[in-house]
Chain A
């Protein structure tokens, strides 16, 4: 790995691969850094090594990643897997960890394409062994052909749940039930957004087709579910919930949940980029213009890390970011950038038609986001309960960072990735303020834990 690049792309998912491919075509000295051992990000996880038999069962959208990966491999962009970026500052100095050694390298332009994470929504029993995020199930299946052994309950809200149920059905897994916690009222509140969604009707027809198939296979799908809880002695043994006014229980050692995805903003935070609260997507995301330029000069964002728009959109956003970087590096003119961007912009606009409807339809109720049960652990690392967070607010700590200092929420190894959203919602709920006012946990490098041994390798590099 060099100590200086013209362009560094952080993240080897669809946005990162597309950006690096287009930039490398122009001869830019460019590298993609990715934490994982293989490329594809999460959505196209294991896309290069997945056996044909398994690939066919994962759906046509997944296979799209093969084209992206191939184009990237053909390009001259460097690819550094197993490389963790633990810091990006506002002068585009990048802290990396490779082969157990920390280093700082520099770039003229940086494209942060670090994608999204599952929206972590605490509920009673969510820390029990056997309760996992739906994405985890997908990763196990895609990367290792590993699927539930004794059946699984899927619960939550969002298109990923439907996709996973369909994938499991085709893999011969017993899906005991799909518990949809989307409030039934959303079907009405989302109606005004429906006409526009028809412009991206392929998404709608696909969703309906999956539902029909699941129904034909006899998989119980319950809607308007509430009061979700996992119970068991030291591991998940049953899933309890409320449906149609009745308390119900399903015996299961495995519960996979999904409540949408949110941008992974730890790197853009590290770089001092300005962020905004997106009410529709219910998440924090970096402020950026139509090319992905953030508030920090030379730092561009692309893909789901900029805002949730899906894998297809991420590809196009990656190309736009790549073109912008080329322009910023004076390799192409603004005119050429604009001309080459036309098609991708059009495709992105088409992709966006579905979003307002999806976001409204799958909007997670504030009640669920603000962890109503006080016994529920909110900060998994430090084991802080919702009740303890509420107590902190009552004692006068009325924003997210104050609560962090007082309770230690967000100070564990995950650095708030699994608790910051819930803490913000609980504090907002308890103090009667908006989530926007709460702020996000202030992120400081290293944005992932490093050992002293790893850091000891830092030394001044002659640039």
Chain B
């Protein structure tokens, strides 16, 4: 869907996105990383299991919720990538307690 232009000179960090290790530009949001490295959805809704992806990128739609470092309901557009961060699509309500299934 999206790609990263090489119009800046930022370092990269390693993240693990849905089990896959990736190098992404430092300082970008998790949503930006997801949109530029995978196709399709980043969560399924609790009500009907429908597939969703980031919509507003400014923190007011809550459609970009992902599981970040084991914590559910994190707005991916408002969270910024860090070295070693684990990011997973949120399925339904996601894990209730950190690091549980």
Q: What residues of chain A have their CB less than 8 Å away from a CB belonging to chain B?
A: 35-37, 42, 49, 51, 53-54, 117-118, 120, 127-133, 135-136, 139-140, 143-150, 171, 234-235, 253-254, 264, 380-383, 412-414, 417-418, 449
- Residues on B lying within 8 angstroms of A by beta carbon are 1-9, 25, 27-29, 32, 35-36, 39-42, 45, 47-48, 50-63, 65, 73, 77-78, 80
Checking B2, B29, B61 against A418 with a beta-carbon cut-off of 8 angstroms, the contacting residue is B61
A171 to B2, CA, bound (A): 13
Say yes or no: A129 contacts B59, CB within 8 Å: no
A129 engages B2 (CB within 8 Å)? no
Chain B's nearest CB lies how many Å from the CB of A387? 15
Point out the residues of chain A lying under 8 angstroms from B53, CB to CB. 129-130, 132, 235
Residues of A within 8 A of B9 (CB): 51
Residue B1 contacts which of A51, A118, A254 (CB distance < 8 angstroms)?
A254
A131 is contacted by which of B27, B55, B57, B77 (Cβ under 8 Å)?
B55
Main secondary structure of the interface of A (DSSP, over half): loop
Q: Other CB < 8 Å A-B pairs besides A117-B58, A140-B35, A144-B28, 11 of them?
A: A49-B27, A128-B51, A129-B52, A135-B57, A139-B57, A145-B7, A146-B2, A148-B1, A171-B5, A253-B1, A418-B61
Q: Decide if A54 touches B8 in the complex (CB within 8 Å).
A: yes
| 6 A-B pairs closest in CB distance | A129-B53, A136-B57, A51-B8, A413-B62, A144-B28, A149-B3
Total residue contacts A-B, CB cutoff 8 A: 131
Contact A412 B2 (CB under 8 A): no
Residues of B within 8 A of A130 (CB): 1, 53
Q: Which residues of A contact B63 (CB under 8 A)?
A: 127, 380
Task: Determine the distance from Cα of A93 to Cα of B3 in the docked complex, in whole angstroms.
Answer: 44
B46 smallest CB distance to A (angstroms): 9
Q: A269 to nearest B CB, angstroms?
A: 14
User: Which residues of chain A have C-beta atoms less than 8 A from B35's C-beta?
Assistant: 140, 146
Q: Would you give the shortest CB distance from A211 to chain B, in whole angstroms? A: 25
Instruction: Tell which of B1, B29, B32, B54 touches A149, judged by Cβ atoms closer than 8 Å.
Output: B1
